A and B are shown apart, each in its own frame.
Chain A
Amino acid sequence: MKTIVRVEKLAKAFRGPTGKVNALDDISFTVDAGQLTVVQGPSGCGKTTLLLAIGGLLEPDSGRVFVDGQEMHSLSADARARFRADNIGFVFQQFHLVPYLSVRENVLTAALGRIAEPEPAAKGTNELLARFGLQERARHLPAELSTGERQRTALARALLNRPKVLLADEPTGNLDPENAEKVWDCLRSFASDGGSVLVVTHDPTPARKCQQVLRLDQGRLIACA
């Protein structure tokens, strides 16, 4: 299986009120294509920091991140953004939907970074809205949606550009079990289609159904199973 994400000796520290805090400390692992990886650990252990560093949104102090063979942090900010648009999808716990755009337009925002032709993006959006059962809600604003619908909209947006990697930060944190299960189904489906998924979660249940579990504690990778 092809390795899609490779993390080598990744380290990141922040200055806090009590001094230096190691958010990531010498982290190394890989995620293969078709693999769903769950990152677990207590709050503040560095899970989100790891996700942001892999996505190229946070500059590490040392170490390297490769996505599909490309070293993320050797790229300029704009080249990295372009690479991210083409290869990485993000899902957040807070959904981060644009409040003044409809469901359909929120999904289409993923195409902003690609400068893709409107036609394929529009076609892909329609397919995703149908897949996530959001056709009836396509013209609704996020404020008019249920939390489950919001997260499905965010998932549709993350998948529009057919990324190689999906990075999800507590994607089910605000959802009821039924909606949470739908999200997990979607993530597993994405992995089974050959994509790589890295999910940060507190939820122990899905860990049993994934291919890899990473346990972090105080910025250190304490287990990889």
Chain B
Amino acid sequence: MRLLRLVLFEIWYRRGNFSLGVASATIAVAFLLGELAILREHDARTIRIIAAKEADTRARMATLEDDYRKITKELGFNVLILPRDQNLNELFAEDFASHTMPEEYVDRLANSRLVTIQHLLPSLQQKLKWTEVERAIILDGVRGEVPIVNADSKRPLLEPVPEGTMVVGWELHRSLKLKVGDVVKLLGREFKVGKLHPERGTKDDITVWISLKEAQLLLGEPGRINGILALECVCAADSLPKVRTEIGAVLPDTQVIEFQSQTLARAEARQRAATEARVAISRETENRAKLRQAQEDFASLAVPLASLVSAAWIGFLAFSNVRERRAEVALFRALGVRSWQIITIFLGRAVVMGLAGAGLGFGIFWLPSGAWPAAALHGIRDVRLLDPRSLLLVFIGTPALTVLASWLPTWFAAQRSPAEVLSQA
């Protein structure tokens, strides 16, 4: 007579008690697997949603790009023409070009019949100290817009500054309390304040504009300029190389850079759209993570609670089983069966109960899922449950739970004096 045989025979004999225990373990397992399935389904759905959003964003970005290309096809953009040997790093650091080129370049360009350029603004800029008022300023000598031969007559973008006058930036006139009509000295030469600029929040606020000729004289650069601003070049948004090639053909000693143009704005718009999309995806991911955390919190409370209730019920059934088998246990003791064997008989029963509960709980979730209506499953059907971790958790955890629940009644059974029962009988 093997102990396992004894255990199995007893289980069959008292199948009512055993079935109730198995049902309880099954419910606990189903609860655990249900929670796991919900969490995994949530993860799978999150991946699907994020992937869909990313795909949607990519598609929308592509559409947006195409739309921008179409919309901005006829819009111009700005370029700055500089001497070829001008170091761009220095230009951006100092706010002006230190190298110069002949003023004649602008005329050559104006007469070259380039159809891509709408407006030409030559200038000679330099950052210097306005010694009379002890201020660092940018002096900008401008000639106004140079008319382009054969171009449509358009209203000039920039009027020239009359000789003997100056236009003063906001920070300068504000701090120096200058008014239109004031006469001020700049580098030893008298100028009448002709115009005051409103606040722009750029380097223009510390700029003084005078005529190009006077600037060339003051700076000792007669007939020289250090930049030509070509505004509203008409071409496709992505055709800067074409503009460069055309200008380079006319002015080989120059270089062309894109300058605060709408192309930049478009790129920025695209960047902003991409950033917005990324933020939206990130927000969605965050929301899904919060939702998952909430589900995890619920599971972390509900699963132990279900396990505890199940364990209490199994413990009660085990106690009832032990009580019913008092005479049997006493007999086994009289026959010389040792304590560990009695413990094995009762805990073996608990292990079989746990394994049966685990199998049934797993079966409830796994096997008949094909027969369940899809709507009732909410996608759980697609979630892989048959992974080694779940199997391990369920088929080790459930017998462990039933053994733990049966431990105390079993211990009582093993410790109880057989004489008490045998003498009563």
Pick the contact of A81: B5, B9, B337 (CB < 8 A): B337
Q: How far is the CA of A132 from the CA of B425 in the complex (A)?
A: 25
Task: Give the chain B neighbours of A52 by CB distance below 8 A.
Answer: 419, 422-423
Q: Are B337 and A112 in contact (CB under 8 A)?
A: yes
Closest B residue by C-beta to A91: B334
| Contact digits for A5-20, partner B, Cβ 8 Å, 1 yes 0 no | 0000000000000000
Given contacts A49-B423, A92-B425, contact A57 B418 (CB under 8 A): yes
Given contacts A58-B417, A99-B13, A112-B3, contact A85 B335 (CB under 8 A): yes
Q: Are A84 and B334 in contact (CB under 8 A)?
A: yes
| Contact digits for A85-128, partner B, Cβ 8 Å, 1 yes 0 no | 11010101110101111000100111111100010010000000
**For the complex, is A48 an interface residue (Cβ under 8 Å from B)?**
yes
Smallest Cβ distance from B406 to chain A, in angstroms?
Answer: 18
Q: How many residues of B contact A (CB 8 A)?
A: 30
In the complex, identify which listed stretch (B96-104, B195-203, B325-333) lies at the interface while the others stay far away: B325-333
Closest A residue by C-beta to B13: A100
Q: Are B336 and A113 in contact (CB under 8 A)?
A: yes
Task: Give the chain A neighbours of B339 by CB distance below 8 A.
Answer: 77-78, 81
Smallest Cβ distance from B56 to chain A, in angstroms?
Answer: 66
Q: How far is the CA of A58 from the CA of B421 in the complex (A)?
A: 11
Q: How far is the CA of A110 from the CA of B331 in the complex (A)?
A: 10
Closest B residue by C-beta to A82: B336
**For the complex, is A55 an interface residue (Cβ under 8 Å from B)?**
yes
**For the complex, is B408 an interface residue (Cβ under 8 Å from A)?**
no
Closest B residue by C-beta to A104: B1
Q: How far is the CA of A86 from the CA of B335 in the complex (A)?
A: 9
Smallest Cβ distance from A147 to chain B, in angstroms?
Answer: 15
Q: Are B332 and A112 in contact (CB under 8 A)?
A: yes
Chain A residues packing against B (C-beta within 8 Å)? 48-49, 52, 55, 57-58, 77-78, 81-86, 88, 90, 92-94, 96, 98-101, 105, 108-114, 118, 121, 157, 169
Chain B residues packing against A (C-beta within 8 Å)? 1-3, 5-6, 9-10, 12-14, 327-328, 330-341, 417-419, 422-423, 425
Residue contacts A-B, CB under 8 angstroms, 17 given: A48-B423, A57-B334, A57-B417, A58-B417, A58-B423, A78-B338, A81-B333, A82-B336, A84-B336, A90-B335, A92-B425, A105-B1, A109-B6, A109-B331, A111-B1, A118-B2, A157-B335
